[in-house]
């Protein structure tokens, strides 16, 4: 984070987008790592750009965990599905705590849901552009149609993706092809899922419902309907 100069002068909006600002999905990290990383980066942003606006996205916990597991499994072979979730503490997985921590430090915060991108992208982009004071891009429909980030979900699909990436580690075309082939193989094999115990699953569901209420109040838009959706 220290490599980013947040004090640069610009007549336009400066948007810094980096997933690692709120932590890591690495299977090697210790529990509570993400909480500490978020607080450290919020402190840096507050010192460097105290009037900054914060844009933060959330995804339903179990869907997010499975996507994170698949993302790492398509790169590395030894990702233990039994222990992966345990590398996150309950605080790491409390989206409500994350949002409340951010809102305690910044007055201008725009929280959104990954599920909005799937279900109501035009409304979301409209709200976001209003937040940053910009008009929506004229080619928005094309941008939404082109978005993709394939992650094979089966063991066989992940194996093929890893194998091709190993042979052609720096070739973007082969990397994309490996993910396409791996995703195609998913239709013939069961999903390789990270294990989430029943009690944690229940706690995460409660946190998600509370988060929807918090985001709805922050945005002035009722998003609680996403509690009943299973969009992945």
DSSP 155-223: HHHHHHHHHHHHHSTT-HHHHHHHHHHHHHHGGGS-B-PPP--HHHHHHHHHHHHHHHHHHHHHHTS--
Task: Write out the chain's pLDDT in tens, 232 residues.
Answer: 455 666 656 666 778 888 889 999 999 999 999 999 999 999 999 998 888 999 999 999 999 999 899 888 877 767 888 999 999 999 999 999 999 999 999 999 999 999 999 899 999 999 999 999 888 888 877 877 766 667 777 777 667 777 776 766 666 676 777 777 778 777 887 777 889 999 999 999 999 999 999 999 999 999 999 986 554 4
162 and 111 fall within a common domain? no
Count of domains for the chain: 2
pTM of the model: 0.82
71 and 170 fall within a common domain? no
In a domain, 17, yes or no: no
Look at residue 232 in the predicted model and tell me its pLDDT: 44
In a domain, 14, yes or no: no
Q: Which domain holds residue 55?
A: 30-146+198-227
| 54-58 and 109-113 strand pairing | parallel
37 and 79 fall within a common domain? yes
Q: Write the burial class of residue 7 (CB in 10 Å: 0-12 exposed, 13-18 middle, 19+ buried).
A: exposed
Q: Measure Cα distances from 77 to 80, 86, 217 in Å.
A: 9, 18, 42
Q: Write the burial class of residue 94 (CB in 10 Å: 0-12 exposed, 13-18 middle, 19+ buried).
A: buried
223 and 158 fall within a common domain? no
217 and 120 fall within a common domain? yes
In a domain, 15, yes or no: no
Phi-psi group of 133: left, alpha or beta (phi > 0 → left; psi -120 to 50 → alpha; rest → beta) = left
In a domain, 216, yes or no: yes
114 and 206 fall within a common domain? yes
- DSSP state letter for 107: S
Q: Which two tokens stand for residue 41?
A: 């980066």
212 and 131 fall within a common domain? yes
In a domain, 220, yes or no: yes
């Amino acid at each position: 984070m220290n490599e980013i100069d947040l004090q640069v002068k610009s007549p336009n909006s400066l948007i810094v987008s980096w997933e690692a600002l709120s932590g890591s999905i690495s299977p090697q990290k210790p529990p509570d790592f993400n909480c500490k990383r978020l607080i450290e980066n919020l402190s840096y942003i507050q010192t460097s750009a105290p009037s900054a606006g914060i844009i933060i996205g959330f995804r339903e916990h179990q869907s997010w965990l499975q996507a994170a597991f698949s993302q790492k499994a398509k790169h590395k072979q030894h990702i233990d599905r039994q222990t992966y979730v345990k590398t996150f503490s309950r605080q790491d997985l409390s989206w409500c705590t994350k949002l409340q921590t951010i809102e305690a430090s910044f007055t201008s915060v725009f929280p959104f849901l990954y599920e909005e991108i799937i279900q109501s992208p035009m409304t979301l982009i409209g709200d976001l552009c209003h937040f940053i004071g910009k008009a929506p891009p004229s080619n928005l429909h094309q941008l939404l149609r082109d978005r993709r980030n394939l992650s094979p979900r089966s063991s066989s699909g992940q194996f093929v993706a890893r194998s091709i990436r190993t042979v052609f580690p720096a070739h973007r075309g082969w990397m994309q092809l490996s993910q396409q082939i791996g995703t195609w193989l998913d239709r013939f094999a069961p999903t390789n899922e990270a294990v989430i115990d029943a009690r944690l699953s229940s706690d995460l569901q409660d946190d998600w419902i509370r988060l929807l209420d918090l985001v709805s109040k922050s945005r002035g838009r009722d998003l609680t309907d996403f509690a009943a959706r299973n969009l992945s």
